[in-house]
Amino acid sequence: MDVGGAAYNELFDIFWGWSIVVGIIVFGWQLHHSFFYRSKDGEVPNVDALKVGEFPRHNDNLQLELTWIILPTLLILYLTFISLGPASDVWADPADVGVEGEDYFEIGMTGQQWFWDFDCRELSTDLCTTGVDEETGLTKLIVKKDVVYRFNLTSEDVIHAPFLVQWGAKEDAVPGLYTSMWVTPDMTGEFFIDCAEFCGDDHSYMTAILEVHV
Ligand SMILES: [Cu+2]
């Protein structure tokens, strides 16, 4: 069962794949034509019979024009369609994505200019511990690998957005509102939780440390 980032990572790969296919066709086409249609030494100039101010209709190719309109349109429609899925993974009711109430752990997360504050509630166990990183002075959240976490987000002042790049998870933290973000850490180690919404002078330093243990 995957909640949150996994679907985005899959999408990322699909978009990469299609970018490579489209890139090869477009750049290959351009390179080929740049050399193939170059005028050769001694060639009669203006073989296409072009006239200044006159559109060269005799070179029209309706089939080709339709192809380069229809194929990219279909590709974009397909990519738009598959992009809708992960959005519902992130915001769906957990029961709809196969997570029962007791199968996930909720962590309160509050953004403030310019740090993140975590709340493991009184349920604090090895599933969730908070602290301060001695080396950097940043707030720290310690969680367990392969546990489904639901972050309940809000803000004390302006809009912030925690971004966990390793799991493709990012959501707005809005003052006066509760939003949520699902993350299932599947790697151990220390990671940054950055702010992805410009929130003032020290926005670029608004980082917390996420430590994931086994
Ligand atoms: Cu911020």
Ligand 1 centroid vs 126 CA: distance in angstroms?
Answer: 27
- Contacts of residue 25, defined as CB under 8 A and 6 or more positions apart, other chains included, come to none
| Contact predicate 191/183, CB 8 Å | no
How confident is the model at residue 98, as a pLDDT?
Answer: 57
How confident is the model at residue 169, as a pLDDT?
Answer: 84
Burial (0-12, 13-18, 19+ Cβ within 10 Å), 87: exposed
How confident is the model at residue 6, as a pLDDT?
Answer: 65
Structural domains in the chain, CATH included, are 5-91 (1.10.287), 97-213 (2.60.40.420)
pTM of the model: 0.66
Q: Where are the beta strands (DSSP E) in 67-177?
A: 104-112, 115-119, 128-132, 139-144, 148-155, 162-164, 169-170
Ligand 1 centroid vs 158 CA: distance in angstroms?
Answer: 8
Ligand 1 centroid vs 33 CA: distance in angstroms?
Answer: 49
Three-state DSSP state, 99: coil
Q: Where are the beta strands (DSSP E) in 16-120?
A: 104-112, 115-119
| Contact predicate 187/144, CB 8 Å | no
Ligand 1 centroid vs 160 CA: distance in angstroms?
Answer: 4
Ligand 1 centroid vs 64 CA: distance in angstroms?
Answer: 49
Ligand 1 centroid vs 193 CA: distance in angstroms?
Answer: 11
| Contact predicate 148/97, CB 8 Å | no
How confident is the model at residue 95, as a pLDDT?
Answer: 61
Residue 108 CB neighbour total at 10 angstroms: 15
Cis omega (within 30 of 0) for bond into 114:
yes
How confident is the model at residue 90, as a pLDDT?
Answer: 59
Q: Which residue type sits at 9?
A: N
- The pair of structure tokens assigned to 211 is 């430590």
Task: Write out residues in the chain with pLDDT < 70, as ranges.
Answer: 1-6, 86-102, 122-124
How confident is the model at residue 12, as a pLDDT?
Answer: 84
Ligand 1 centroid vs 199 CA: distance in angstroms?
Answer: 5
Ligand 1 centroid vs 207 CA: distance in angstroms?
Answer: 9
Ligand 1 centroid vs 156 CA: distance in angstroms?
Answer: 11
Ligand 1 centroid vs 170 CA: distance in angstroms?
Answer: 12
Residue 7 CB neighbour total at 10 angstroms: 20
Ligand 1 centroid vs 102 CA: distance in angstroms?
Answer: 31
| Contact predicate 148/103, CB 8 Å | yes
How confident is the model at residue 1, as a pLDDT?
Answer: 38
